[in-house]
Amino acid sequence: MRIGRRIVTTLKRTAVHAAPTVLGIIVLDFLFLQLMPGDVADVMAMEAGSATAETVAMMRERFGLDQPMLAQLMSFLGHLVHFDLGFSPRFNASVVDIILERLPNTLLLMMSALSLALLLGIAVGSVMAAWAGKWPDRVLSVVVLLLYSMPGFWVGLMAVVLFSVKLGWLPSDSNMTIGSDFTGWDLVLDRAAHLVLPALALATFFVAVYARLVRASMLEVQRQDFMRTAHAKGLHPFLIQLRHALRNALIPVTTVAGMHLGNLLGGAVVVETLFGWPGMGRLALEAVLGRDFSVLLGVLLLSSFLVILANVLIDLLHAWLDPRIGEA
């Protein structure tokens, strides 16, 4: 019953804050995009090479780009009420269909990168905290500093050179082998092989962040009274570190992980472009280059929803890790 009440309370609190936040994000994104020079009609006319001014004017009228900015905003909000993100003249398809086609690939990449970063970060941070001040801590601190200093695109390029060009172990482009007819486990292994390098490039920076955070949090927890009580009871040191120190140290880590979801979406633009990964990050870049604001607004809106949903899940996880949070 307590868990159910915590969930309901968390959802209500999130809904109250999410509605104005999403509305503000939509309006600000729309206004900022209006500041960009040109529109999709200009880009399509330039690509055609022989479009006249009359043709460009007809395209603007057809796409609704000749309307005042406020009218365009109200039209977009009106369609949004009916869960319609509009039509993409660039891709000649519904924005919802385009995003839903790319969304699974981006979610797979983000969740793989986040899981890898959390797994390695927590493991490395725990080792650093357990041997604080000793040689394992110092060696791993240097490694973590290097990971923190290297940009993701550089890590991706070096990984391609090493594992794809030199060793030939892993593919470096797309999310599956083009023209293959794999099924079952062969398909799973093929997709996993294409996922390794993009997930590694996206996760590297966050591994360093979580490792440093886990180390600092565990060292802080180890100075608490309940830790001394656990030692006085004669509990095994490994059990103390796992059940008491690490569990309490995970609260700030999960908080930062929820905040980093937006950074993962931003990093996905570079990583997906580098590895030819057909996801939302690459779609956003294509929409910017093509001035397809309908698609770009849809991507930004869905990204906002994903961040809000992630924060809801983080709040529920906090309530499980520390019941005092759910009662506050």
pLDDT in tens, 216-235: 887 777 666 656 666 566 65
pLDDT in the model for residue 10: 59
Q: What is the arithmetic mean of pLDDT over 190-202?
A: 86
Instruction: Judge contact between 279 and 105, C-beta under 8 A.
Output: yes
- How would residue 245 be classed by pLDDT, with cut points 50, 70 and 90? low
Residues in the chain: 328
**52 or 279, which is more confident?**
279
The CB density around residue 279, as the number of other CB atoms within 10 Å, is: 26
- Decide if pLDDT at 133 tops 60: yes
E-strand spans in the chain? 87-88, 93-94
Q: What is the pTM of this model?
A: 0.76
pLDDT in the model for residue 84: 75
pLDDT in the model for residue 163: 86
- For the ranges 9-13, 29-33, 116-120, 319-323, which has the lowest average pLDDT? 319-323
As a whole number, the mean pLDDT across the chain is 77
- How would residue 319 be classed by pLDDT, with cut points 50, 70 and 90? low
155-174 burial: b if 16+ Cβ within 10 Å, else e:
bbeebbeebbeeeeebbbee
- Topology annotation, domain 95-151+198-327: MetI-like fold (1.10.3720)
d(CA 87, CA 95): 5
Estimate the crossing angle of helix 261-275 against helix 293-321, to 10 degrees. 130
pLDDT in the model for residue 55: 74
- Decide if pLDDT at 192 tops 80: yes
Estimate the crossing angle of helix 95-130 against helix 247-259, to 10 degrees. 150
> Residue holding tokens 């019941």?
323
- Decide if pLDDT at 212 tops 80: yes
Instruction: Judge contact between 172 and 160, C-beta under 8 A.
Output: yes
Instruction: Judge contact between 132 and 219, C-beta under 8 A.
Output: yes
pLDDT in the model for residue 241: 63
